[in-house]
Chains A and B, each alone.
Chain A
Amino acid sequence: MTLAIEAVGLVKTFPSKGGDVEAVRGVDLAVEQGEVFGFLGPNGAGKTTTVRMLTTLLSITSGVARVAGVDVASDPDAVRRKIGVALQEAGLDPRQTGRELVTLQAQLFGLAPAAARDRAQSLLELVDLVDAGDRRIKGYSGGMKRRLDLASALVHQPDVLFLDEPTTGLDPASRLTVWDEVRRINAEGTSVFLTTQYLEEADQLCDRLAIIDGGRIVLEGTPASLKASLRRRRGLDHDPTLDEVFLEATGRTRIRAAGDVEQVQA
């Protein structure tokens, strides 16, 4: 079966005055179709850079990436037809209404005007924004923007949905709503690649996850297997939290994490 996402030796180097900065240093990924795959890591670990390479937004310095079976570097347009993308800080046009934005997105993906309007209506219903659909996005709350961003990423029923920190900055209720949407989208067969800073989010949503640190994947597995492995290694009498798994994998203690979090610009 074709993998939803496959990456082999993915590298991204940014030129800088003090010499090249290697933001991603050889990432391998194999995400199965139908999975919700979590991609975790501290700030600047290379999460967003990896997502941007996989979604055709950033060139790949070396390595190979295939999304829905299509090579990202050699056929980016075919990849774009198969993916939905909701990036950090919901990139929306504040002067359009929610309905206009989703309709335009559907038309840009090739739907005829009437079909695009119908698709927008059903997606606004899906994310519970019908009432606000004819208001300008400028007046939307953070949660509404995220839901609209999610809706606009689904206009073409993508095979793979990329969500880059979809709940950062949201209140707990809005976060739960986004989680419900992600589950519903995944239940309909869409594979989801999710980056997040919230380990509870990964625990709740992800079938499998990988932790990236310093541009390299340092741990990969299901949330349960990662916890069980740490429990065995430490001889604990209870299952550790995913926070503890994360802190161990990234070589951070709670004290270091509080006071000395490495900041690498990615």
Chain B
Amino acid sequence: MNQALLLGRRALRETLRTPESLAPTLLIPLFFLIVNVGQAGKIFPASSTGFLKGQSYAAFQLPSSLLLAASFGTAALYLVEDIEGGYFDKLRAAPIGRTALVVGRLFAEAVKSVILTAVLILISLPFGIRVASGIFGFLLLLVLASAWAVTYAGFMQLIALKTRSAAATNSGSLLFFPLLFLTPNFVPRSLLTRPMEIAATFNPVTYIMEGLRSLILGADATVVARGFAVVLGLGAVMVILNVRAVRSYD
């Protein structure tokens, strides 16, 4: 655990020293929030749209932006740099637990995501958004979004460990877009067409999005718990696959 924290601290230092890599993770999700609300906001007025529970459409859209911000997986891109530059071999040749080798960066990803999510929510407040579940709900939002960030970074780290290629790892972040749009992204699941509803039901991102949305619009404990269950399950699978990949790394 200590080694993972040491490597996590180094990864955070790395992020702080490349602030330019943080800008897109903040600006692109904000861009999507503004554009989506600008295009569909009038269709769903707060006063007459039941699923908004009295809030603006921006509140309904915010989870998509939070998930997008948590899905850049930059941890994996830095890992490829380590692999290509030889530093990863230096670490592998040291008596560091194989789990720490991959978990260290995920720790850093969690911390980074908590901060990014908090900043995004604060920036979004002028859009008429409030976190209906209060301070505790706000904290759960941070945890749920960062748990997804860790899970997706774990998926991208897996690509990095298997391919050792920056191009392949980079393209892993694009895979998130179909996952993001095969969800109740613009309307609740019950209003989707049947094919979209089926796709969304099989998409794990749906449950995390619904969990986040529930915390913003008014907490439904079951929906929130389901979101956590899905992300924790997927996260555990990713960590296990990462550890297996680094153990068999040749």
Contact = CB atoms under 8 A, between A and B. Distances in A.
Interface of A: 55-59, 77-78, 80-81, 83, 85, 87-96, 100, 104-105, 107-110, 136, 149, 152
B14 A57 contact: no
9 contacts: A57-B92, A57-B93, A59-B250, A80-B93, A85-B89, A91-B87, A94-B85, A108-B91, A108-B96
Nearest to A58: B250
B14 A109 contact: no
B1 interface: no
Given A57-B92, A77-B95, A80-B94, A95 B14 contact: yes
A85 B14 contact: no
A93 B94 contact: no
A134 to B, nearest CB: 14
Given A57-B93, A91-B89, 8 more contacts: A55-B93, A80-B93, A87-B90, A88-B86, A89-B86, A91-B90, A92-B86, A108-B95
Nearest to A84: B93
A266 to B, nearest CB: 13
B93 to A, nearest CB: 4
Contact of A104 (B6, B85, B95): B6
Contacts of A105: 90, 94
A101 to B, nearest CB: 9
Given A58-B250, A59-B250, A88-B86, A95 B17 contact: yes
Contacts of B87: 91-93
Contacts of B3: 108
B226 interface: no
Nearest to A81: B95
Across chains A and B, which 4 residue pairs bring their CB atoms closest together, nearest first? A91-B86, A80-B95, A85-B93, A91-B90
Q: Mostly helix, strand, loop or mixed at chain A's interface?
A: loop
A95 B3 CA distance: 19
B13 interface: yes
Contacts of A56: 92-93
A90 B86 contact: yes
A77 B95 CA distance: 5
Nearest to B86: A91
B10 interface: yes
B85 to A, nearest CB: 6
A136 B85 CA distance: 15
Contact of A107 (B6, B14, B93): B6
Interface string B55-92: 00000000000000000000000000010011111111
A87 B86 contact: yes
A152 B90 contact: yes
Contacts of B82: 93
B6 A93 contact: no
A42 to B, nearest CB: 22
A46 to B, nearest CB: 16
B18 interface: yes
Given A90-B86, A93-B87, A100 B93 contact: no
A109 B3 CA distance: 9
B10 A96 contact: yes
A88 B94 CA distance: 16
A46 B188 CA distance: 60
Contact of A100 (B7, B13, B89, B94): B13
B85 A95 contact: no
A28 to B, nearest CB: 23
A109 B2 CA distance: 11
Contact of A108 (B6, B85, B86): B6
A83 B93 CA distance: 8
B20 to A, nearest CB: 13
